[in-house]
């Protein structure tokens, strides 16, 4: 069985270590944990690994956040994977910094990457791991906040939470969404 893990973010050094790129950061941590290396491929950097008897394909779209659906749909088709065997890793301003929540479907809210995936797929039924980045910004400054770099306090929080996110992803692949949500969503 094959799983597609999609870390959302923006390519380029100017976006590295920004809140909006937490999906890329967790995808990198998963690849490292599984001993996989990214190579440049169509619409994404791609890594492949084995987890017990499962093939895990990890992508970091090169389409930029607002066109994430293009890479996600392409790789679902290319890898012959159903959305239920995929997981989108995404930053979420509606969750406090470091909170991790697995959901199997839902709206995109104000997140342009999720909304483009919904628009591209034509439905909201795809699993996502929402990674809280908080919303410590003044009204009208959301873009500057999500594209901003982590504070030293946020870095401390994520140093603890990124390994937990990797464990959640591995649980999702091996045990499924229900067990993973019951085990991890309130930790």
pLDDT at 109: 85
State the total domains in the chain: 1
Q: Cα separations (Å) of 145 from 20, 65, 173?
A: 9, 15, 32
Q: 20, 111, 116, 123: which one is catalytic?
A: 20
Domain that holds residue 7: 2-184
Residue 24 φ/ψ, nearest 5 degrees: -65, -45
CATH code of the domain containing 68: 3.40.50.1470
Task: Please determine, for residue 187, whether its predicted confidence score (pLDDT) is greater than 80.
Answer: no
Task: Please determine, for residue 5, whether its predicted confidence score (pLDDT) is greater than 90.
Answer: yes
Task: Please determine, for residue 43, whether its predicted confidence score (pLDDT) is greater than 90.
Answer: yes
Burial annotation 6-27 (CB, 10 A radius, 16+ → b, else e): bbbbbbeeebeebbbbbbbbbb
pLDDT at 138: 86
pLDDT at 136: 87
Helices 177-184, 152-175: crossing angle, 10 deg rounding: 140
pLDDT in tens, 102-142: 999 999 888 989 999 999 999 999 999 999 999 888 888 98
Helix/strand/coil percent split, the chain, to 5: 45, 25, 35
pLDDT in tens, 137-169: 888 898 999 999 999 999 999 999 999 999 999
Distance CA 137, CA 75 (A): 34
Length of the chain equals 187
Distance CA 107, CA 124 (A): 6
Q: What average pLDDT does range 68-88 have in this prediction?
A: 96
Q: Is 20 a catalytic residue?
A: yes
Token digits for 149? Answer: 């770099």
pLDDT in tens, 8-40: 999 999 999 999 999 999 999 999 999 999 999
Instruction: Sort 60 into a burial class: Cβ within 10 Å, 0-12 / 13-18 / 19+.
Output: buried
């Amino acid at each position: 069985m094959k799983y597609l893990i999609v870390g959302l973010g923006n390519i380029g050094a100017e976006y590295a270590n920004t809140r909006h790129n937490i999906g890329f950061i967790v995808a990198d941590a998963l690849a490292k944990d599984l001993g996989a290396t990214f190579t440049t491929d169509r619409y994404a950097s791609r890594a492949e690994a084995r987890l017990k008897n499962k093939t895990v394909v990890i992508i970091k779209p090169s389409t930029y956040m607002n066109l994430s659906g293009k890479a996600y749909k392409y790789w679902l088709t290319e890898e012959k994977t159903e959305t239920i065997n995929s997981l989108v890793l995404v930053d979420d301003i509606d969750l406090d910094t470091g909170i991790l929540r697995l959901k199997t479907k839902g709206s995109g809210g104000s997140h342009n990457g999720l909304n483009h995936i919904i628009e591209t797929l034509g439905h909201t039924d795809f699993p996502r791991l929402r990674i809280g980045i908080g919303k410590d910004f003044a009204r009208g400054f959301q873009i500057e906040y999500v594209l901003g770099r982590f504070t030293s306090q946020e870095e401390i929080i994520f140093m603890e939470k990124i390994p937990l996110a990797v464990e959640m992803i591995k649980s999702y692949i091996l045990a499924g969404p229900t067990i993973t949500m019951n085990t991890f969503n309130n930790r």
